[in-house]
Amino acid sequence: MPSYPHFPENCTSLLCKYLTPTIFEKLRNRKTPSGFTLMQAINSGVQNPESAIGVYAGDEASYEVFSPLFNPIIQEYHGFGHEDHHQSDMDSTKLKATDLDPENKYIISTRIRVGRNLNALPLGPGISKEQRLHVEDEVSSALLSLQGTLQGNYFPLEGMSDSVQKQLIEDHFLFKAGDRFLEAAGLNRDWPSGRGIFHNREKTFLVWVNEEDQLRIISMQQGGDIKAVFERLVSAIGTIEKQLTFMHSEHLGYITSCPTNLGTAMRASVHIKLPKLSQDKEQFQAITKQYHLQIRGIHGEHSESEAAIFDISNRRRLGITEVECVQDMHDGVAALIAAEEKL
């Protein structure tokens, strides 16, 4: 019989905040129809108390079966209640984007990604090896049929040389191996089987296969042309959706393994140099809070900044549209640059 996990006193994850002994008691013996348990859902946050969130869904039903735990986490992270409705809008003409950095002083690169999972299969934390290989097969076949500027190749991780893999990671194109948060979530099982990356020749359009979500569809390029990056992504998603059906609900939008990605599953980011503002931590944090931004390090989640370069992205992803996600990032980055210039 599972017993209530030990969380250190200084634990700040949303898991330790909302997994009270009462909620634990209520949920501890529940399982989703595909067999995903509460202990699997919380293991990442139990093993890694410094997680921001610490919970993962193993399938679409997890959000219902474990809703007494997931709902308050979703409410706090996205400000989205269980009666709310999510709406999508990817009309890039609605984005009010200006050239934020005409002299190329601050923004190094721009990247927008969405997470997607195939309908009617478990999510990564609950998927079997055979199902994961099936996903790889379906997704890579669909991607290999793309034409024009999206045309590219699929590179499975299995058989990829260490040096190629290392270079792709260093250049910010590929996911890291051995992430301990994903490991404890069950997302690294059978590694590297079924994992891989698709990219076009210019590496401006990329798709990660079977990482935290089954697909991470990515548009990226050097510089700060946010609109061009968004337009490429929207066009790619539209083309891919003609071939693949993604897991989606009226209430939660696109379903993802981590509740922070629900809804749009979109993270729009820039790598930006802020040498002065980053010294003024109070002002830096006040601006990011005001514009609903998240600060990450230079190698993605759980990494540190280097040479005053930060990864700045929209924090909210559910209950706002894709256009609003990108607008949050754009407006916030404009405010950060204005503050940097004043110092």
What is the enclosing helix (H) or strand (E) of 155?
strand 152-156
- Rounded Cα–Cα distance for residues 224 and 230 (Å): 11
Give the total of residues touching ligand ADP (CB under 6 A): 17
Closest distance of CB 247 from ligand ADP, Å: 17
Centroid of chain to Cα 320: 15
The answer to whether 136 is a known catalytic residue is no
Which entry of 116, 132, 195, 296 is annotated as an active-site residue?
296
318 binds, among ligand ADP, ligand IOM, none (CB under 5 to 8 A by kind): none
Closest distance of CB 69 from ligand IOM, Å: 13
Q: Going by C-beta distance under 8 Å and a sequence separation of 6 or more, which residues neighbour residue 126?
A: 32, 34, 35, 36, 40, 58, 59, 62, 186
DSSP single-letter state for residue 282: H
Q: Going by C-beta distance under 8 Å and a sequence separation of 6 or more, which residues neighbour residue 331?
A: 291
Which entry of 232, 267, 315, 317 is annotated as an active-site residue?
267
Name beta bridge partners: 297. 300
Which entry of 111, 116, 132, 216 is annotated as an active-site residue?
216
**Do residues 259 and 52 make contact, with C-beta atoms less than 8 angstroms apart?**
no
Options 36-44, 143-151, 231-239, 266-274: segment touching ligand ADP (CB under 6 A): 266-274
Centroid of chain to Cα 180: 16
Question: Is position 311 an interface residue for ligand ADP (rule: CB under 6 A)?
Answer: yes
Which entry of 136, 211, 212, 324 is annotated as an active-site residue?
212
The answer to whether 28 is a known catalytic residue is no
- Give the total residue count for the chain: 343
What is the enclosing helix (H) or strand (E) of 294?
strand 293-296
Closest distance of CB 39 from ligand IOM, Å: 16
Which entry of 204, 260, 288, 321 is annotated as an active-site residue?
260
The answer to whether 296 is a known catalytic residue is yes
- Rounded Cα–Cα distance for residues 176 and 181 (Å): 12
Closest distance of CB 177 from ligand IOM, Å: 15
The candidate with the shortest Cα–Cα distance to 186, out of 143, 244, 122, is: 122
Q: Going by C-beta distance under 8 Å and a sequence separation of 6 or more, which residues neighbour residue 287?
A: 277, 293, 332, 335, 336, 339
Question: Is position 203 an interface residue for ligand ADP (rule: CB under 6 A)?
Answer: no
The answer to whether 216 is a known catalytic residue is yes
Which of the residues 214 through 233 are near ligand ADP (CB under 6 A)?
216, 220
Residue with the closest Cβ to ligand ADP? 300
The answer to whether 111 is a known catalytic residue is no
Which of 78, 86, 111, 132 forms a contact with ligand ADP (CB under 6 A)? 111
Options 51-59, 107-115, 138-146, 331-339: segment touching ligand ADP (CB under 6 A): 107-115
Question: Is position 52 an interface residue for ligand IOM (rule: CB under 6 A)?
Answer: yes
What is the enclosing helix (H) or strand (E) of 110?
strand 107-116
Which of the residues 241 through 270 are near ligand IOM (CB under 6 A)?
258, 260
Locate 124 and state its tokens: 């990564």
Closest distance of CB 249 from ligand ADP, Å: 21
Closest distance of CB 113 from ligand ADP, Å: 5
Question: Is position 42 an interface residue for ligand IOM (rule: CB under 6 A)?
Answer: no
* Numbers of helices and strands, H then E, in the chain: 11, 10
> Can you give the binding site for ligand IOM, defined by CB under 6 A?
51-54, 181, 212, 258, 260, 301
User: Site residues (CB under 6 A) for ligand ADP?
Assistant: 109-111, 113, 172, 216, 220, 267, 269-271, 296, 298-301, 311
Active site residues: 113, 212, 216, 258, 260, 267, 296, 301
